[in-house]
Structure 1
Amino acid sequence: MITLAHISDIHLSPLPEVALRNLVGKRLTGFLNWKLKRHGEMKTETLHRLVAHMRDQDADFTVVTGDLTNLALPEEVRRAGQWLTDLGHSDRIAVCPGNHDAYVPGAMDEAIENWGEYLKGETLEGETFPFVRRVGDVAIVSCSSAVPTAPFLAIGRFEDKQAARLDRMLKLLGDAGYFRVVLIHHPPNAELQHPSFGLKGHRIFRQVIKERGAELVLHGHTHRSSIHHIPGLDHEVPVIGVAAASAAQGGTLDDPARYNLFRIEKVGNGWSCTMREYGFQRVGDDIVMRMQMRIY
């Protein structure tokens, strides 16, 4: 049996000191949003408590589906790298980046350089994404939807070339009998698309999953706990989102901080997979198991 933990939307706080020369374009609007609203909703103590609880589960592997930073300032990127190191060794953790990690042009390159092995695995054509990590019978495929965008937009992008590589990977891994978990920051299902924060290329992504199959798709971005499905090769594929890991109770838009824990096991010619959601309730101070459900 393999246990897989899923955490997302870290949004490390507080912001480092920001030089005036950095407050141009999108970073200016993001900084104002942080100061006026988000700084009161993303709490360091909330994140610390949730991560400590998750680490006590001693999962075999942990996936982080993006938005470790807020404005992708160089100091934020460095701090996020240290946070990953504190979370655990890179051979047990994989990251897919979020839109905040690619907030402005060049930020994603800094993240790739700073986060190193957490953003690496087996690849095709020498490209960074998708990359694959294999843990027992489980194959984790990390995609990227992270691109810099204009102010007031939080869209992601998934294009044909990455789709072609994902197609080949899922075919190879499926033929080899792996339980395939696909990571992407932006949700790919039609129900969660929006012109200002949706995934451009969500139809392309879904078409790959429909033609090649997968067992599970994990995402972040919405700051909400959610379960949807998209068509797969021979069964519907669960698409599961998790609340932001630093979201304090009492926020106006977000679910309180949570993480998911999956227990995956080969059973004959099929799979057994159960999910437990842990986190804060809207009332009360304790981290609790909020839900348990069988996926396969």
Structure 2
Amino acid sequence: MITLAHISDVHLSPLPEIGLSDLLGKRFTGYLNWKLKRHDELNSETLARLVAHMQEQRADFTAVTGDLVNLALKDEMVRANKWLEALGDSERIAVCPGNHDAYVHGALSQAQESWGSYLKGETLEGQPFPFVRRIEDVAIVSCSSAVPMPPFVAAGRFEESQAARLARMLKLLGDAGYFRVVMIHHPPNAELQHPSFGLRGHRIFRQVIAEHGAEMILHGHTHRSSIHHIPGKDREVPVIGVAAASAAQGGTLDDPARYNLFRIERNGEGWNCMMREFGFQRLGNEIVMRMQMRIY
């Protein structure tokens, strides 16, 4: 049996010291949004309590589905690397980048350099994404939807070249009998698409899953706990989102901070997968198990 933890939208705070030269372009509007609203709703104390609770579970592997930073400043990237190191060894943690991790041109390359092996694995064609991590019978496939976008746009992009590599990976891993978990920051299901914050290329992504299958898809971005499904090769594939890991109680838009924990084990030629969601409620200050359900 493998236990897999899922956490997302860390949004490390507070922001580092910022000079006027740092606020050119999109970072200016992002900084205003942070100062006027987000700094009250995303905080480090909430994150620290949630992570401590998650670490007590001693998961075999942890999937982090993006948005570790806010404005993709260099000091934020360095801080995020230290946060990842405190979370655990890179052999047991994989990250897929979010739109805030690629907030401006060059930011994603900086994240790859700063976070090193947390953003690496087995790849095809020498391209960084998707990459694969394998732990016993489970294969975690990390895709990237993170691209810089204009101000007021938080959309992602999934292009055909990455789709072709994902298709090859899923076929190879499926033929080898792995439980395939696909990570992507932006949700790929049609219900959650919007021109300003959806996934451009979501149809291409769903086509790959429909043709080659997967056992589970994990995402972040929405700051909401959610379960949807998209068509797979042999059955529908669960698409599971999780609330932002730093979301304080009392926020106007977000669910309070939560993480998911999956217990995955082979059952003959099939799988058993039990999901438990832990986190804060709207009322009360304790972290509780909010839900338990069988995925397979």
Query: 1:21-32 alignment to 2 at 5 Å?
Result: 21-32=21-32
Give me the whole-angstrom Cα distance separating, in 1, the residues matched to 2:208 and 2:98. Answer: 21
**For 1:259, what is the secondary structure of its paired residue?**
strand
Letter in 1 for 2:131: F
Q: Which moved more, 1:58-67 or 1:16-25?
A: 16-25
Is 1:139 paired with 2:139? Answer: yes
After TM superposition, the score normalised by the length of structure 1 is: 1.00
Structure 1 residue 188 displacement after superposition? 0.1
Aligned to 2:63: 63
Is 1:46 paired with 2:46? Answer: yes
Gaps of 5+ in 2: none
1:139-178, CA deviations, whole angstroms, 9 ceiling, x for partnerless residues?
0000000000000000000000000000000000000000
Aligned to 1:246: 246
Gaps of 5+ in 1: none
Aligned to 1:86: 86
Structure 1 residue 132 displacement after superposition? 0.2
Aligned to 2:107: 107
Query: 1:1-296 alignment to 2 at 5 Å?
Result: 1-296=1-296
Letter in 1 for 2:186: H
Letter in 2 for 1:50: L
Aligned Cα root-mean-square deviation (Å): 0.3
Give me the whole-angstrom Cα distance separating, in 2, the residues matched to 1:21 and 1:95. Answer: 29
Letter in 1 for 2:254: D
Letter in 1 for 2:35: K
Give me the whole-angstrom Cα distance separating, in 1, the residues matched to 2:38 and 2:152. Answer: 15
**For 1:205, what is the secondary structure of its paired residue?**
helix
1:216-253, CA deviations, whole angstroms, 9 ceiling, x for partnerless residues?
00000000000000000000000000000000000000
Give me the whole-angstrom Cα distance separating, in 1, the residues matched to 2:196 and 2:102. Answer: 16
Give me the whole-angstrom Cα distance separating, in 1, the residues matched to 2:42 and 2:224. Answer: 14
Give me the whole-angstrom Cα distance separating, in 2, the residues matched to 1:135 and 1:229. Answer: 25
Structure 1 residue 57 displacement after superposition? 0.1
Letter in 1 for 2:13: S
Give me the whole-angstrom Cα distance separating, in 2, the residues matched to 1:19 and 1:171. Answer: 48
Q: Which runs of 4+ in 1 moved over 2 A?
A: none
1:67-115, CA deviations, whole angstroms, 9 ceiling, x for partnerless residues?
0000000000110011000100000000000000000000000000000
**For 2:217, what is the secondary structure of its paired residue?**
strand
Give me the whole-angstrom Cα distance separating, in 2, the residues matched to 1:278 and 1:133. Answer: 25
Letter in 2 for 1:185: H
Letter in 2 for 1:114: S
Letter in 2 for 1:28: F
**For 1:34, what is the secondary structure of its paired residue?**
helix
Give me the whole-angstrom Cα distance separating, in 2, the residues matched to 1:25 and 1:118. Answer: 29
Structure 1 residue 279 displacement after superposition? 0.0
1:253-277, CA deviations, whole angstroms, 9 ceiling, x for partnerless residues?
0000000000000000100000000
Structure 1 residue 24 displacement after superposition? 1.3
Give me the whole-angstrom Cα distance separating, in 2, the residues matched to 1:228 and 1:37. Answer: 29
**For 2:134, what is the secondary structure of its paired residue?**
strand
Give me the whole-angstrom Cα distance separating, in 2, the residues matched to 1:133 and 1:69. Answer: 23
Give me the whole-angstrom Cα distance separating, in 2, the residues matched to 1:102 and 1:294. Answer: 35
**For 1:214, what is the secondary structure of its paired residue?**
coil
Give me the whole-angstrom Cα distance separating, in 2, the residues matched to 1:112 and 1:200. Answer: 22
Letter in 2 for 1:137: D
Give me the whole-angstrom Cα distance separating, in 2, the residues matched to 1:243 and 1:169. Answer: 28
**For 1:37, what is the secondary structure of its paired residue?**
helix
Give me the whole-angstrom Cα distance separating, in 2, the residues matched to 1:26 and 1:274. Answer: 41
Structure 1 residue 25 displacement after superposition? 1.1
Give me the whole-angstrom Cα distance separating, in 2, the residues matched to 1:225 and 1:37. Answer: 21
Give me the whole-angstrom Cα distance separating, in 1, the residues matched to 2:169 and 2:256. Answer: 35
Seq. identity, %: 79
Give me the whole-angstrom Cα distance separating, in 2, the residues matched to 1:166 and 1:122. Answer: 12
Letter in 1 for 2:96: C
Give me the whole-angstrom Cα distance separating, in 1, the residues matched to 2:202 and 2:41. Answer: 29
